[in-house]
């Protein structure tokens, strides 16, 4: 993923918090429930407004006090899950 | 809580200026206004039935039910299950013996012009089972296709596929020390800042004949105090109902199973303060073979949420009214507060007590956890 790629939530995604550290999402017309742990939920919350990948990484790196490379590595599978579940769109840079 | 019928006023006139649309030669269908409580709402209604809980005298009405002319829905009105969406906040249902309009979740109108062959009880049941799910959807109040019962430990909600035995299980509990919150349609108190509670619906259960007969056999010895006995809804003094399971009240079109009013343990236990805190959800399943012992399994996370979502009543109406996102969040809250269990038992009536014992044990645990949480808070 490129730094300038913009990640945005798809409209109409439904949310259910089933415990303090688990959020379940369901996309429009989908029957595939996607469960997010506390950190993935935090990522989802930050995407309330469309966000550049670089900005998402830097905000997480600051808040979790971790190097950007590590955040990027952890973020990739989370974003892949969200894309696969039809929950976010990623608009390529430029 | 009293088991007396709600007060009625047979002399009350319908709304000024509107002639009540009732068939000729059916003066018994004329409006007889009364007030009852169900599903967390106070109804001021032209149709009441003895099994509807009387409303507190000073409680303002949330919903009015009037016998009034209702025009047919235009052909172009969008369809949402059995309802046609006829305007903002308004929908119409064309049932076989009446036409119903609900407006803004506050006003129900019943056009009984075609109800010549329909009893008052059947109309009341259609109001309770066929109309109120739509009413609750209009109010965003999450109607659940479920049964529920309450005991001293709190309330249990029973969900499951059609034919999973929800009605029979809840009715059986109602015959063994629990109060029946309702069957087929349940509403919860989902107010913020307090535990989720189960509202009382109607003291009726929709039972197949074999289930009713099995319950009657359970009831055979009759140690109950007189106040816990069944209401006789069939008006058949020559046929005394068995303890707790009255004659069929109405089995009209669209109602499917026979509907019986139950006397439960509510009065005998001194009456519950409804809504009763929800302690646990049980997803009922059948178990094979027939001699297998009932079993209980905790369902976690997403699976619990999925079971609950399957229990939303008339989901097509929820979607048409745009309620899905709010309901999904509310279902998450339910799953977060109440443990969800799969309760599996063989398809034998005599296995029900053992299954009920498992449910009771789970309720005890949940109640203890809730008490500990309250103490630590």
DSSP secondary structure letter of residue B199 = P
The predicted-structure confidence for B97-109, as pLDDT tens digits, reads as follows 999 999 999 999 9
Is the ipTM, as predicted for this complex, more than 0.90?
yes
Find chain A residues with C-beta within 8 A of B333's C-beta.
16-17
Q: How far is CA B167 from the centre of its chain?
A: 10
Position B240 scores a pLDDT of 35
- Quick check: B192 contacting A, CB < 8 Å? no
In this predicted structure, the answer to whether residue B252 has a pLDDT above a threshold of 80 is no
Cβ atoms of B97 and B114 within 8 Å: the answer is: yes
Which of B338, B321, B310 has its CA nearest to residue B166? B310
Indicate the CATH number for domain A6-89. 3.90.930.60
Please give the pLDDT value at position B363.
94
> What's the mean per-residue pLDDT of chain A?
94
Q: Does residue B77 sit at the A interface (CB-CB below 8 Å)?
A: no
**Contact at CB, B325 and A12, closer than 8 angstroms:** yes
Place of tokens 């200026």: B17
Element (H, E) at B303: helix B301-310
From residue B319, alpha-carbon distances to B39, B83, B137, B158 in Å are 21, 12, 10, 23
Residue contact B336–A24, C-beta within 8 A: no
* Residue B16: per-residue pLDDT: 44
Q: What is the pLDDT of residues B28-64, one digit of tens each?
A: 888 888 999 999 999 999 998 877 888 998 999 999 9
Q: Does B357 touch chain A (CB under 8 A)?
A: no
For residue B164, pLDDT beyond 50: yes
Domain boundaries, given as residue ranges, for chain A = 6-89
Q: What is the pLDDT of residue B53?
A: 86
Do the chains contact at B302 and A14, CB–CB below 8 Å?
no
- CA-nearest of B95, B200, B103 to B147 is B200
DSSP state of B279: E
Distance, CA of B37 to chain centre: 12
> What are the φ/ψ torsions at residue B37 (nearest 5 degrees)?
-110, 135
Chain A residues within 8 A of B331 when measuring between CB atoms: 16
Which one is predicted more confidently, B73 or A93?
A: B73
Q: Find the helix packing angle between A68-84 and A53-64, rounded to 10°.
A: 120
Among B87, B86, B93, B97, residue whose Cα is nearest residue B132: B93
Residue A29: per-residue pLDDT: 86
Select from B330, B335, B340, B373 the residue whose CB has the most chain A CBs within 10 Å, as the one to mutate to test that interface: B335
What rounded mean pLDDT belongs to chain B? 84
What is the pLDDT at residue B263? Answer: 64
Cα nearest neighbour of B304 on chain A: A18
Domain ranges of chain B: 8-139, 147-376
Give the number of residues written for chain B. Answer: 377
Q: Is B347 on the interface with A (CB under 8 A)?
A: no
Alpha carbons within 13 angstroms on the beta-carbon side of residue B338 total 28
Whether residue B375 is predicted with pLDDT greater than 90 in this model: the reply is no
Whether B332 sits inside 8 A of A15 (CB atoms) is: yes
> Is residue B169 scored above 60 in pLDDT?
yes
State residue B228's pLDDT score: 34
Asked if the C-beta of A80 comes within 8 angstroms of chain B's C-beta atoms, the answer is: no
Does B335 reach chain A within 8 Å, measured CB to CB? yes
pLDDT at position B237? 30
Would the pLDDT of B306 be above 80? yes
Q: Is B15 on the interface with A (CB under 8 A)?
A: no
Q: Tens digits of per-residue pLDDT, B333-350? A: 999 999 999 999 999 888
DSSP string computed for B281-319: EEEEEEESSTTPPPEEEEE-HHHHHHHHHHTBSSHHHHH
Over residues B204-229, the pLDDT tens digits come to 888 877 787 777 776 554 444 333 33
Which of A12, A14, A22 is facing B301, going by the closest CB pair?
A22
| Chain B neighbors of A35, CB-CB under 8 A | 301-302
The pLDDT > 70 percentage for chain B reads 82
Q: What residues pair up with B228 in beta bridges, in sequence order?
A: none
């Amino acid at each position: 993923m490129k730094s300038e790629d913009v990640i945005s939530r798809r409209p109409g995604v439904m949310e259910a918090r089933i415990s303090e550290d688990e959020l379940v999402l369901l996309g429009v017309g989908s029957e595939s429930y996607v469960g997010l742990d506390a950190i993935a939920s935090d990522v989802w919350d930050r995407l309330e407004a469309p966000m550049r990948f670089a900005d998402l990484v830097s905000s997480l790196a600051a808040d979790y006090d971790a190097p950007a490379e590590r955040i990027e590595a952890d973020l990739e599978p989370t974003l892949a899950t969200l894309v696969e579940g039809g929950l976010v769109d990623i608009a390529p840079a430029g | 809580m009293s088991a007396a019928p709600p007060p009625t006023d047979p002399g009350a006139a319908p709304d000024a200026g509107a002639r009540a649309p009732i068939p000729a030669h059916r003066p018994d269908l004329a409006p007889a206004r009364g007030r009852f409580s169900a599903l967390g709402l106070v109804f001021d209604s032209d149709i009441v039935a003895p099994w509807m809980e009387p409303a507190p005298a000073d409680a303002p009405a949330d919903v009015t039910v009037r016998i009034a002319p209702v025009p047919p829905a235009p052909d172009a009105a969008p369809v949402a299950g059995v309802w046609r969406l006829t305007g903002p906040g308004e929908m119409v249902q064309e049932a076989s013996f009446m036409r119903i309009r609900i407006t803004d979740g506050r006003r129900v109108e019943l056009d009984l012009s075609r109800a010549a062959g329909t009893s008052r009880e059947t109309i009341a049941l259609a109001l309770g089972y066929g109309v109120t799910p739509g009413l609750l959807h209009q109010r965003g109040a999450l109607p659940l296709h479920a049964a529920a019962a309450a005991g001293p430990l709190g309330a249990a909600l029973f969900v499951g596929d059609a034919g999973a035995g929800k009605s029979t299980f809840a009715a059986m509990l109602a015959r063994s020390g629990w109060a029946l919150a309702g069957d087929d349609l349940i509403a919860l108190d989902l107010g913020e800042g307090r535990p989720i509670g189960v509202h009382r619906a109607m003291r009726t259960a929709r039972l197949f004949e074999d289930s009713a007969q099995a319950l009657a056999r359970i009831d055979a010895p009759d140690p109950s105090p007189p106040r816990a006995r069944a209401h006789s809804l069939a008006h058949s003094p020559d046929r005394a109902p068995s303890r707790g399971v009255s004659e069929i009240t109405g089995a009209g079109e669209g109602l499917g199973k026979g509907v019986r009013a139950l006397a439960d343990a509510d009065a005998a236990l001194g009456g519950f303060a409804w809504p009763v805190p929800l302690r646990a959800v049980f997803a009922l399943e059948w178990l094979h073979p027939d001699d297998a012992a009932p079993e209980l399994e905790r369902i976690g996370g997403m699976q619990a949420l999925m079971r609950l979502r399957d229990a939303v009543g008339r989901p097509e109406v929820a979607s048409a009214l745009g309620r899905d996102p709010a309901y999904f969040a509310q279902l998450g809250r339910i799953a977060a507060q109440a443990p969800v269990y799969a309760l599996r038992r063989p398809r034998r009536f005599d296995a029900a007590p053992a299954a009920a014992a498992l449910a009771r044990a789970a309720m005890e645990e949940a109640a203890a956890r809730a008490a500990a949480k309250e103490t630590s808070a």
